[in-house]
Amino acid sequence: MKILIDNYSDYSNSQSLYLNEGFKNFGHESHVFDVASNSIFDVCDTINPDILIISANRITKGVIEYLQQSNLKLIINVDNLDLDNTKQLTSFLKEAKVGVAFLFTSEESFPKNVDGFNVVKVYHAADVNQIESLHFNYNVGKAIIIDKTHENIGYEGSFHVIGIGDKVKKENVDIFLPSISLRSLFPKYNEIIFKDLQKINQTFLNAICSGVPTYYDNEDSSKIQETLNKMLKEEFNINYRNENKITDFKNIASVVKENHTGNNRAKTILSQIKGA
C-alpha cells in the first residue's frame, strides 16, 4: 500500500515523520511531502498513493479539488480542532462530497463518531527515530520544561528552563528547541520536571524513554495521573511533589518504548484501513 503524508510536524510534535517511519517498518511504501509548497496533483501523479494523511488545518483548495476527482482515501488528524470546529469540517467535507476513511485525535473527550465520521483515538507517541548525538557535554541538576509563561519558577539546585510550544517566548527561557532535538539533551540532566503538564505529549514521552527520572509538577495532579494510568495500563507515581514517587525509571521507560512509539501509532492507523 502507498501512503502519502503531509508534513504537519511542528516544534512540539513530529507525528507525521514518525508515522512515515512506522508505515515503512510495516512494509508499506510511505512518502512525506509539504502541501504548502508542493502541488497535490503533481505529487499524486508521481507517487500514485492509496492513502493521504493530513492535518485538518492544512487541507487546501487543491487537496479538495484532487480528492473530488480521485479514489484517494483521506485520513485526517483533528488534534488542532475542538469538537465544534470538527463538526464544521465534517459538514464541509460532506457538502464537497469528499470521501474520508476516518478522523483521528489524541483528545480523550472526543466521541467515537462525529456526524457519521469515525474517530480513532491515537495518543501522542515518543519519537525514537534518529536521535542525534551532541558534540558537547554538560550536567545540570534539573530540566524544567514549560509550555506557557510562569512568573515564578523556583527549584533547589541548578536547573535550566526549557520552553516548548508557541505560548513560550524564547527570551524567557534558557533553551528553546523542537521536541525531536530535545531528546539529545535529556541525558545531560539528573531530573526532568514538566511544570503544570496538562496533556501527555511527545516531549514528555521522549523524556521518559531517555531513562532520566521524569516527573510532572502540577497543583492538581489527579487528572494527569488518571490519564497516564489509563494510557500506560500500569500505575507509576511520577508526581514530583509526592514523597512516594518512583526514582527507578527502567520499567516505565520499557513500557513506553514497547507500547507508545511511532510504530505503535502507525499500527493503530493501519488497523483501521481495510486491506492494510
Give pTM, 2 decimals: 0.93
**What cell was used for 259?**
507500547
* Structure confidence by residue, pLDDT tens digits, 98-133: 999 999 999 988 999 999 999 999 999 999 997 777
For residues 198 and 206, the answer to whether their CB atoms sit within 8 Å is: no
Sequence ranges of the domains in the chain = 2-125+261-271, 140-259
What confidence tens digit (pLDDT) does each residue in 71-84 have?
A: 999 999 999 999 99
Q: Which of 40-44, 127-131, 157-161, 234-238 is predicted with the least confidence, judged by mean pLDDT?
A: 127-131
Cα–Cα nearest to 4, from 25, 32, 27 = 32
Specify the amino acid at residue 122.
V
Per-residue pLDDT at 137: 86
Q: For the chain, what is the mean pLDDT?
A: 94
In this structure, how many other beta carbons lie within 10 angstroms of the beta carbon of residue 183? Answer: 23
Helices first, then strands: H and E counts in the chain: 9, 12
Per-residue pLDDT reduced to its tens digit, 165-203: 888 888 889 999 889 889 999 999 999 999 999 899 999
- Give pLDDT, residue 108: 87
Q: pLDDT > 70: what percent of the chain?
A: 99
| 51-55 and 73-77 beta bridge pairing | parallel
- Mean pLDDT across 5-23: 95
Per-residue pLDDT at 206: 96
Give phi and psi for 179, each to the nearest 5: -55, -45
Q: For the domain made up of 140-259, give the CATH fold.
A: Rossmann fold (3.40.50)
Q: Is 2-125+261-271's fold the same as 140-259's?
A: yes
Query: DSSP letter string over 148-205?
Result: S--S----SS-EEEEE-STTS-GGGSSEE--HHHHTTTGGGEEEEEEET--S--HHHH
User: Which pLDDT score is estimated for 207?
Assistant: 97
Q: What is the mean pLDDT of residues 229-258?
A: 95
User: What is the per-residue pLDDT for 135?
Assistant: 73
Q: Give yes or no for residue 24 having a pLDDT over 90.
A: yes
- CA separation (Å) from 156 to 112, 159, 165? 45, 8, 25
Query: What is the dotted CATH code of the domain comprising 2-125+261-271?
Result: 3.40.50.360
